[in-house]
Amino acid sequence: MISVEEALARILAEITPLNAMQVPLSEACGLVLAQDIVAQEDIPPFANSAMDGFALLSHDSQPQHGQPSRLRITGGVAAGYVADHAVEEGTTMRIMTGAPLPPGADSVIQVELTRSEGPDSEWVEILEAVPPGNNIRPAGEDMRRGQTVLRQGSEVGPWEIGVLATLGWPTIPVIQQPHVAILGTGDEVIDVDEPLRPGKIRNSNSYLLEAAVRQAGAVPHRLGVAHDTVESLREKFTEAVRYNLIITSGGVSVGDFDLVKNIMAEQGQINFWRINMRPGKPVAFGHIGGVPLLGLPGNPVSAAVTFELFGRPVIRKMMGHTRLVRPQVDVIVEDGVSDRAMRRHYVRARVEWRDGHFVAHTTGNQGSNIMTSLLNANALVIVPEGGVEVRPGDTAKAMMLDWPEE
Ligand code: AMP
Ligand code: MG
Mean pLDDT for 46-73 is: 97
Q: What rounded mean pLDDT belongs to the chain?
A: 97
Identity of the amino acid at 211: A
Question: Which domains does the chain possess?
Answer: 4-17+177-318 (3.40.980.10), 20-44+141-175 (3.90.105.10), 48-137 (2.170.190.11), 328-400 (2.40.340.10)
Mutation test residue for ligand 1: of 190, 274, 299, 301, the one with most atoms within 8 Å of CB = 299
Distance CA 294, CA 312 (A): 11
Q: Are strands 114-116 and 189-190 parallel, antiparallel or unpaired?
A: unpaired
Instruction: Give tens-digit pLDDT for 215-242.
Output: 999 999 999 999 999 999 999 999 999 9
Q: How many CB atoms lie within 10 A of CB 255?
A: 12
Instruction: Give tens-digit pLDDT for 353-387.
Output: 999 999 999 999 999 999 999 999 999 999 999 98
Mutation test residue for ligand 1: of 189, 206, 210, the one with most atoms within 8 Å of CB = 189
Q: Are strands 123-126 and 114-116 parallel, antiparallel or unpaired?
A: antiparallel
pLDDT at 338 over 90: no
**Predicted TM-score (pTM) of this structure:** 0.92
Scored b (16 or more CB within 10 A) or e, 350-359 reads: ebeeeeeebb
Distance CA 352, CA 356 (A): 10
Give the ligand 1 atom nearest the CA of 249: 16
Distance CA 282, CA 275 (A): 7
Instruction: Give tens-digit pLDDT for 29-42.
Output: 999 999 999 999 99
Ligand number with the minimum distance to the CA of 299: 1
> In Å, what is the CA distance from 259 to each residue of 200, 256, 262?
19, 8, 5
Instruction: Give tens-digit pLDDT for 280-334.
Output: 999 999 999 999 999 999 999 999 999 999 999 999 999 999 999 999 999 999 9
- Going through 240-343 in order, the beta strands assigned E by DSSP cover 245-249, 268-272, 277-278, 284-288, 291-296, 328-333
Helical spans, DSSP H, in 103-187: 158-166
Tell me the CA–centroid distance for residue 178 and ligand 2, in Å: 27
| Confidence band of 77 (pLDDT split at 50, 70, 90) | very high
Tell me the CA–centroid distance for residue 247 and ligand 2, in Å: 14
Q: Are 381 and 341 in contact (CB under 8 A)?
A: no
Q: Are strands 107-110 and 344-354 parallel, antiparallel or unpaired?
A: unpaired
Mutation test residue for ligand 1: of 190, 205, 252, 296, the one with most atoms within 8 Å of CB = 205
Ligand number with the minimum distance to the CA of 188: 1
Q: Are 180 and 244 in contact (CB under 8 A)?
A: yes
Distance CA 180, CA 293 (A): 10
Distance CA 386, CA 341 (A): 7
Ligand 1: residues with CB < 6 A are 184-186, 188-189, 201, 203-206, 249-251, 253, 255, 258, 297-300
The percentage of the chain sitting over the pLDDT mark of 70, rounded to a whole number, equals 100
